[in-house]
A = this chain, B = another copy of it.
Amino acid sequence: VAQNVYDDPEFFAAYARLDRSVHGLDGAPEWPTLRAMLPAPAGLRVVDLGCGYGWACRWAAEEGAASVLGLDLSEQMLARARTDTPQGMRITYRRADLDHVELDAGAFDVAYSSLALHYLTDLPRLLGVVHAALVPGASFVFSVEHPLRTAPSHPAFVDGPDGTPVWPLDRYLVERPVTVDWLAPGVVKQHRTIATYVTGLLDAGFALERLVEFRPSDEQLAARPDWAEELDRPSFLLVAARRA
């Protein structure tokens, strides 16, 4: 079972202050790229795996999705998602541990997940559940923390050989749980390689449609010069797949 750090009060309070918590999708630099990888939701049945505050659920509903199911492990996230969702929107929020979730076969036309799958201890199981829950030809679009972020023993920039910052990469091929201090001490993620995400999809019966190692746009870099470190070590891996 994945750690439920989002219901840790210290973590939750810090998370609530992130740009993407305050500003929603507009505060997530990778969102425009991810959105362009998604099919237009109008008329489609959408499931959001790890929906958090429900920003993407509300986007899909506003775009005319036939129905939206938002799943999250955190009661606190779901409580805020429900509070923030206007009456009448076709969204159902439900508590679910993605390591154990069950979904009805063929119940969805789109599966979406933002920055959740790197918490799962059993990725192949979830990929199988998602594959079975989608109709043939349906899209599965997700982001995870880029494996270059989770690989190092000491994941923080240091001065490199010529004095400019470098990312001290080691253990990239050593898949394992990693404990990082991010918003709160002791947050546990699963380090996996890019190849593991990709072959996991292929093994589950998906066709790969798009793989993006996210680079902020020139506009974003002009507005946020501190994001230049993303060019050295990307933070987001974005994937679009199609159920065969």
Contacts and interface: CB of A to CB of B under 8 A. Distances in A.
Interface in A223-240: 230-234
Interface stretch (A13-21, A74-82, A151-159): A151-159
Q: Name the residue in A148, A160, A169, A230 with the highest tally of chain B Cβ atoms < 10 Å from its Cβ.
A: A169
A208 B212 contact: no
A211 B199 contact: yes
18 contacts: A153-B161, A153-B166, A154-B160, A154-B161, A156-B161, A160-B168, A167-B169, A168-B168, A169-B233, A170-B232, A171-B231, A172-B234, A173-B232, A194-B213, A195-B212, A199-B210, A202-B208, A202-B209
Contacts of A164: 153, 170
A162 B166 contact: no
A165 interface: yes
Nearest to A215: B173
Interface of A: 148, 152-154, 156, 158, 160-162, 164-174, 193-195, 198-199, 202, 207-213, 215, 230-234
Say whether chain A's binding surface is mostly helix, strand, loop, or mixed: mixed
Contacts of A231: 171-174
B193 A172 contact: no
Given A156-B161, A161-B168, A198-B211, 6 more contacts: A153-B166, A158-B161, A168-B168, A171-B231, A172-B234, A174-B231
A20 to B, nearest CB: 21
B167 A213 contact: no
A152 B168 CA distance: 11
Given A168-B161, A170-B232, A208 B198 contact: yes
A232 B198 contact: no
Contacts of A165: 170
Nearest to A175: B215
Contact of A160 (B148, B158, B193): B158
